[in-house]
Amino acid sequence: MELVSIADIRIAADDIAGTVVRTPLLPTLWDDELWLKPESLQPVGSFKLRGATHAVARLDPAARSRGVVTHSSGNHGQALAYAARAFGVPCTVVVPEGAPQVKVDRMGALGADVRLVPPARRLVEAERIVAATGAALVPPFDHPRIIAGQGTVGLEIVADLPEVDVVLVPVGGGGLSSGVATAVRALRPSAAVIGVEPELAADARESLAAGEVVVWDVERSYRTSADGLRTNLSELTLAHLRDRLDRIVTVTEEEIAAALGRLVREARLVVEPSGAVALAARLFHRDELPAGRTVAVVTGGNVDPAVLASALG
């Protein structure tokens, strides 16, 4: 299986310039060796805009004109809707029932045709729409261009902190962690890239241990508040993580909530639970991590107001 290269990520960086915000590294007051990469500051509130923009930019113009389709719990759907609007093409997003309403509403506001289905049918329905309309499927993570686009996060981290020692990155479907690990390993080989996922959706840790994709059913993974990390790996992302990720640390729901509160109160960032898991690893599992200059990727800020209020209560 051919893996994404640093050259692919550099191409993606050129494609997304002007549409995607180049987010800064924010130092933290409570830890002088910790920086935050706040992808919550993207126009759609998450890193997903990077991969979606690169993927749409690289579509054949004739295919792109027929529109794009995806399946998403929210952040990738918003990102694809935004990218599609920038290119002036229609977008359909198949959303699993139970996705945060704030994300569903924003996808619609960005012009997407939103279709709600049972979680287990999200991919099947997306493929049905593609077959019926001729639109292009832009998956949330299982595509080299998505991985390359997300890898621009790692490109920027090393550019802004050349002496980085540790990068903490959330793991859901594995697109972001695959891309970040690819970029960091190429540009800063001595740095460790550590994946972080919720204990209640730790399928990536099991998959790496087993050497094959281990699928957690939706009833099991939907227990976590980190809705963006409920997705299983693909063969493509597993291949990247086996080759380039150092290891995975898991965090509890209580740790995620505490990290979310810290980010809001002390970093002044609006963050969703998925975006807080990397910081949770630094706060509560520091003994499991290498020492040194650390960057925690804050993946998104599309949080339901009730969830935010509960974390701050």
Structure token pair of residue 158: 């090393």
Backbone angles phi, psi at 38, to 5 degrees: -85, 80
Which residue in 40, 46, 73, 178 is the catalytic one? 73
3-class DSSP state of 175:
helix
d(CA 5, CA 51): 15
The 113-117 sheet, strands edge to edge: 113-117, 91-96, 68-71, 136-137
DSSP H helices in 188-252: 203-210, 218-221, 235-244
Q: How many other C-beta atoms lie within 10 A of the C-beta of residue 250? A: 21
228: nearest Cα among 250, 247, 255, 201: 201
Backbone angles phi, psi at 292, to 5 degrees: 120, -175
User: Is the Cβ–Cβ distance between 229 and 277 less than 8 Å?
Assistant: yes
User: Is the Cβ–Cβ distance between 205 and 172 less than 8 Å?
Assistant: no
d(CA 244, CA 202): 18
Q: Tell me if residue 190 is catalytic.
A: no
User: Is the Cβ–Cβ distance between 239 and 3 less than 8 Å?
Assistant: yes
Which residue in 37, 40, 46, 48 is the catalytic one? 48
Backbone angles phi, psi at 21, to 5 degrees: -75, 135
d(CA 163, CA 293): 7
Q: Tell me if residue 73 is catalytic.
A: yes
Number of helices (H), then strands (E), in the chain: 14, 10
Structure token pair of residue 42: 């993207």
3-class DSSP state of 160:
helix
List, by residue number, the catalytic residues. 48, 73
